[in-house]
Every structure is written in structure tokens, then in C-alpha cells.
Chain A
Amino acid sequence: MEMSTAIRSAMDDDVEEILLTHEQIQTRVAELGAELAADYADREPVLVSVLKGSIIFLADLVRAMPVHVSLDLMELSSYGASTQSSGQVRILKDLSGPIRGRDVVVVEDIIDTGLTLNYLLKYLNDRGPSSVRICCLLDKPARRLAEIDISYRGFTIPDRFVIGYGLDYDERYRNLPYIGVLRPSVYGASPPEG
């Protein structure tokens, strides 16, 4: 217990500002879950999430949906890690089952440029689903390059570097229960220009 408190304090020290509290997130996730459950009451949708950032949102969301659902997970290569290999995005973990004729809901933690999701949507649509809709917890539209039609949106957030509730910096902070803004000194940034 003591150790847990110490780790939590160390992480909290790296947070400049709490953008969304745990309570705010839980309330909104419950609303999204209820909305999805109403829309997909008799359709047993497949909820597809992209590793790793979305798993905490997915875990809470699916428990707020009192209807039958299937879950599937995918993992895509990221640009920075892959520029020396194929030069194009690759599927590191594919769907476990077919989605042909199924109603698919892509569950995303955050949509920023939309490039990854744009690729993912093309990939999923090529597999013949009955429908594909997007549910994201955080929509950060400031740098959007590919327009994404978001059917279920948790929060629209400003252009800040956010961590927690699944979102990481260098694989850390995913286990924070809230969404916070990372202190610039953590990633070696200088103070903002006047």
C-alpha cells in the first residue's frame, strides 16, 4: 500500500494540470455506454480497439453496455518505429475473427491527426462489415489531417500533450486514473515563448 502511494505521487508530480478527473471520465463513459447499448441493442456489435492506449477506455466502456458484444484488438506499427522497415504502416496484430456482415464499433482513446484511424477504417471496410462507426474518448481536432466521422465522442480537448487513462508518454502514465497534461520539463521542453 505504501509503495502504491509513493508511485502514484511520483506520477502526479509529472502532471501539470488535470484535464479530466476520474469522475468526469466515468460519468461520460457511462453515458457513451448507454448510448451505444441503445443503438446496438439487438445487433451484437464487434468492438474493435487499437492497442495499447484504448484498452482502459474499452474495459470501462464495455462494462457500461448491458448488451451482447464481441471484442477484438488490433495493433498497428507506428511511423517512428517503422521507418527503417517497410516504410508503410503494418498490421502487427490482426483481428481474431471475421467481421463480414457485422456491425463494428472502433473504440479509440484519442483522435489527433486521424492518419492511423483513416488507415484502419479502410482496412476494416475492405473486410465487408455491415457498418463501421467510431467511438472515441478524446477528440483533439487541432491537427486533424484526415477527416473522421465520429459517431460517439467523449470529450473534445485542446491542443495539449495528455497522459493517463491509457495514454502514455514513453510507455509511462497509462495507469493514471485521470487525463492530465504532462509537465513540459518531463520531456525536456523549454518554457513557452512569450
Chain B
Amino acid sequence: MWISWPDILKADGARTSADRYDRGAVAATLSSGSPPRFAHQSEAELARILDFYRIEWRYEPDTFPLSWNAAGAVVESFSPDFYLPEVDLYLELTTLKQSLVRRKNRKLRWLRQLYPENRVKMFYARDFQALMFKYGRLDFLADVAAMNGNGPLNDALGGED
């Protein structure tokens, strides 16, 4: 069922290493191997938060094929951004506006249907905003919102932990 990265990239649209983000200097990390380069700075920020609270994570460790053509080649797949082994949870982070996440939601539904043994959680823009709000990282949030063309904070903010 597993397929190689080159196949996935061909099927899903390749991402280059340019314009990727790292999570900056941290005191230590529970995640082994070389620090990954993140596709979006919100992912790097979430990695910093997980490091802070000593939650082990892996960045895009697995790719799940979702659909195949008649020849059996994978034509669509999904690689959740994070896997948290300690809690056995895949986490997909999106900072897109709610109205633009339909495609991701569809992929998530397929993934849950095809791989019901895996727990996958979508962290939407509003969830990330709430997290940044909680930690007083409004400057960071403003940067991310500007990059995405999103507006300011909406009212979906959550309380402290």
C-alpha cells in the first residue's frame, strides 16, 4: 500500500526545498534526525510548541494513497503534516480560510475511510489562531494571516489550557 516519495511527488505536485521554514533554535528536541524544513511557518511554529511541551513529533513521516487510476498508479495521496507517536495521532495543519479547505477536508474523509485504524486530526486556521492568541503570539499570527491573505482574528478563539 505504501508508495515512494518520487511517486507521490509526481502525483501530488512536487514541492521544492526553497521557501521552506525551519523552527529556529530550540534548546533540545525529542525528534530524532535532522531538523526538517517546513512547508509553512505555521508548521514550524507548531513544532516549536510541541518541542516546548516535550511532545515527540515526526514531520510528514507517512503518505497515504487515496485514489488510483485504472493502471493501479496512485493519483491522489495525503501526507499529514505531523505524527505524534506518544499519542498515536496524525495532525494536519492548515492556515487556509475555512472556505478554502474543502479539498483537504475531502482528503481527510477519504483517509479516515481507507485507514480507519489511524487517528487524524485537522487543525484549522481558527484552531491555529486560537493557539497563537492563547500564547500571545499575535505578531506571528498577523504575519501568517498576511501571507495567506486572511483577515484579522475571527471569533473562533479558545481559552487557556
Interface residues of A (CB under 8 A from B): 53, 78-83, 86-89, 109-119, 122, 138, 140, 142-143, 145-147, 159-163, 167-168, 184, 187-193
Bound-complex Cα distance A140 to B157 (A): 12
- Distance in angstroms from A163 CB to nearest chain B CB is 7
Bound-complex Cα distance A159 to B156 (A): 7
Q: Contact between B27 and A87 (Cβ–Cβ < 8 Å)? A: yes
Known: A79-B135, A117-B161, A146-B84. 17 other contacts (CB 8 A): A79-B49, A80-B136, A80-B137, A86-B27, A87-B48, A88-B52, A110-B160, A113-B131, A115-B161, A119-B53, A143-B130, A143-B131, A159-B130, A168-B160, A192-B155, A193-B97, A193-B99
Q: Contact between A115 and B53 (Cβ–Cβ < 8 Å)? A: yes
Bound-complex Cα distance A162 to B151 (A): 22
In-complex Cβ contact of A161 among B89, B127, B131, B157 (8 A): B157
Q: Contact between B87 and A190 (Cβ–Cβ < 8 Å)? A: no
Bound-complex Cα distance A89 to B161 (A): 14
Residue of A nearest to B52 (CB): A79
- Distance in angstroms from B30 CB to nearest chain A CB is 10
Given A118-B55, A119-B54, A193-B98, does the pair A53, B160 have CB atoms closer than 8 Å?
A: yes
Interface residues of B (CB under 8 A from A): 25-28, 48-55, 84, 86-87, 89, 91, 97-99, 121, 123, 127, 130-131, 133-137, 151-161
User: Which residues on the B side are within 8 Å of A190 (C-beta)?
Assistant: 151-154
Bound-complex Cα distance A146 to B57 (A): 12
Residue of B nearest to A108 (CB): B161
Given A81-B136, A117-B161, A162-B159, does the pair A88, B51 have CB atoms closer than 8 Å?
A: yes
Q: Contact between B51 and A87 (Cβ–Cβ < 8 Å)? A: yes
Q: Contact between B55 and A193 (Cβ–Cβ < 8 Å)? A: no
Bound-complex Cα distance A145 to B22 (A): 22
Q: Contact between A160 and B158 (Cβ–Cβ < 8 Å)? A: yes
User: Which residues on the A side are within 8 Å of B50 (C-beta)?
Assistant: 115
In-complex Cβ contact of B159 among A87, A140, A193 (8 A): A140
User: Which residues on the A side are within 8 Å of B127 (C-beta)?
Assistant: 142-143
- Distance in angstroms from B84 CB to nearest chain A CB is 7
Q: Contact between B54 and A189 (Cβ–Cβ < 8 Å)? A: no
Bound-complex Cα distance A115 to B86 (A): 12
Q: Contact between B160 and A167 (Cβ–Cβ < 8 Å)? A: yes
- Distance in angstroms from B140 CB to nearest chain A CB is 9
Q: Contact between B130 and A184 (Cβ–Cβ < 8 Å)? A: no
Best-surrounded residue of A83, A110, A184, A188 (most CB of chain B within 10 A): A83
User: Which residues on the A side are within 8 Å of B98 (C-beta)?
Assistant: 193
Q: Contact between B51 and A189 (Cβ–Cβ < 8 Å)? A: no
User: Which residues on the A side are within 8 Å of B157 (C-beta)?
Assistant: 160-161, 184, 187, 189
User: Which residues on the A side are within 8 Å of B25 (C-beta)?
Assistant: 87
Q: Contact between B158 and A159 (Cβ–Cβ < 8 Å)? A: yes
Q: Contact between B154 and A116 (Cβ–Cβ < 8 Å)? A: no
Residue of A nearest to B126 (CB): A159
Residue of B nearest to A144 (CB): B121
User: Which residues on the B side are within 8 Å of A88 (C-beta)?
Assistant: 26-28, 51-52, 54
Given A87-B52, A145-B121, does the pair A110, B155 have CB atoms closer than 8 Å?
A: no
Q: Contact between A112 and B154 (Cβ–Cβ < 8 Å)? A: no
Given A88-B27, A143-B131, A161-B130, does the pair A187, B52 have CB atoms closer than 8 Å?
A: no
Residue of A nearest to B25 (CB): A87
